[in-house]
Amino acid sequence: MAKILKIVGILLGVLVLAGAGGALWMWSARDARLAIVYEVEDADFPVPFPLTDDEVAALRAELEAGRAAAVAEGSVAEGSEEDVLADVDLSALALERAVERGKHLVESRYICVECHGQDFGGGTMIDDPGVGTILGPNLTTGAGSVTADFTPADWSRAVRHGVRSDGTPLVMPADDFVAMSDLELSDVIAYIRTAAPVDKTVPRIAFGPVGTMLVATNTLPLAAEMFPDHTRSHEPLPPPTGDTVAFGQHLAGVCTGCHNPNLTGGPRPGFPPDWAEPLNLTPHASGLEGWTFEDFQRVMRQGVRKNGEPLKLPMNKLLPYSLKMTDTELHALWTYFTSLEPRPYGE
């Protein structure tokens, strides 16, 4: 009897040690992965972008037409030689337009507020006892801001590379933003900088046991690891706005984080159990084969799938954003998806 108890005792001891060893391995594997330092390009671009020559020319033509009309009406004397642009503050106008574009990008595409708060003062990405507390920090200029002293290079490193200023990886799904051009990021920064300062210090991320395991075992993808080359620079400008495959592909950059880089969908590691699996967006029988644009539009504008079911989590969370897409943007996505080679689900 005593012998059996002794054996059981030893076995238990071994199990406890193995458990502790496993946990220790898990913790150190997690920390090792989060301590890797990435060398990232130093992006350089203006905030805001100045007006282009074409924009200035269009503005001049508009103001000259206005002056000609006023002369014809007799409200302005003829023969004024003054440059119509003399009194126009072109930098203020450039900023105004950049903020307007940035607002549209955040509201229809880049969903920063979903994790950083509607006022950009901080928000929640995941708050789960198992996975952890993963909070989006304060992006305003108030006390507790992480971005108050950010240069464009710092913004680019975080947003388009998923890397902190010390070179280590962020737990932000920045893979959705890698296709962002300099102009778009500049516009987003210009817009975020108009946010009223919020005084709030957001605690740093803390992983629970499940989160630790997901990071330690490389199950949770980290955006920084997905880049083949962090020293490669980004496009200065997005493709021209229009109902084209190129523009649609650019827009679909924010769909690939969930629907897979090749858009065939499939289960996502790290998705909570109450989230659905992203579906196939290629024109395959398991995807968009036989769909019309109206079917696609119903998903994006009403949150209803072709089979009549309401969209599930997390796609249904995107409805407020896709509702803000312009008709051109929506159709360009459709044009792009239907141009793809049909591929089976989750390939």
Task: Give the binding site for ligand HEC (CB under 6 A).
Answer: 110-112, 114-116, 125, 134, 136-137, 139, 146-147, 155, 158-159, 164-165, 170-173, 177, 188, 204-205, 254-255, 257-259, 276-279, 281, 296, 299, 305-306, 311-312, 314-315, 318, 333
Choose between 51 and 116: whose C-beta lies nearer to ligand HEC.
116
Question: Distances from the Cα of 130 to the Cαs of 177, 205, 208, 270, 316, in angstroms?
Answer: 27, 13, 5, 11, 24
The tokens for 71 are: 């002369």
| Nearest CA-CA partner of 22 in 205, 208, 212 | 212
Rounded distance, CA 198 to CA 191, Å?
A: 15
DSSP readout, 188-207? Answer: HHHHHTTSPP---PPPPPEE
Choose between 48 and 51: whose C-beta lies nearer to ligand HEC.
48
CA dihedral 309, 312, 315, 317 (to 10 degrees): 110
The tokens for 47 are: 């905030």
Provide, rounded to whole angstroms, the least separation between the CB of residue 35 and ligand HEC.
12
Choose between 83 and 100: whose C-beta lies nearer to ligand HEC.
100
Choose between 172 and 178: whose C-beta lies nearer to ligand HEC.
172
Provide, rounded to whole angstroms, the least separation between the CB of residue 92 and ligand HEC.
23
Choose between 95 and 140: whose C-beta lies nearer to ligand HEC.
140
- How many C-beta neighbours within 10 Å does residue 257 have? 19
Choose between 95 and 170: whose C-beta lies nearer to ligand HEC.
170
Rounded distance, CA 195 to CA 22, Å?
A: 45
One-letter-per-residue 3-state SS of 128-141: ECCCEEEEECCCCC
Choose between 93 and 270: whose C-beta lies nearer to ligand HEC.
270
DSSP 106: I
Provide, rounded to whole angstroms, the least separation between the CB of residue 80 and ligand HEC.
45
- Burial 13-31, CB ≥16 within 10 A → b, else e: eeeeeeeeeeeeebeebbe
Provide, rounded to whole angstroms, the least separation between the CB of residue 315 and ligand HEC.
3
Provide, rounded to whole angstroms, the least separation between the CB of residue 214 and ligand HEC.
14
DSSP 123: E
Provide, rounded to whole angstroms, the least separation between the CB of residue 302 and ligand HEC.
12
Choose between 55 and 295: whose C-beta lies nearer to ligand HEC.
295
**Residue ranges of E strands in the chain:** 123-128, 132-136, 206-207
Provide, rounded to whole angstroms, the least separation between the CB of residue 310 and ligand HEC.
7
Provide, rounded to whole angstroms, the least separation between the CB of residue 54 and ligand HEC.
27
Q: State the sign of the Cα–Cα–Cα–Cα dihedral 238, 240, 246, 248.
A: positive
Rounded distance, CA 109 to CA 300, Å?
A: 12
Choose between 51 and 170: whose C-beta lies nearer to ligand HEC.
170
Provide, rounded to whole angstroms, the least separation between the CB of residue 246 and ligand HEC.
16
CB 126 within 8 A of CB 103: no
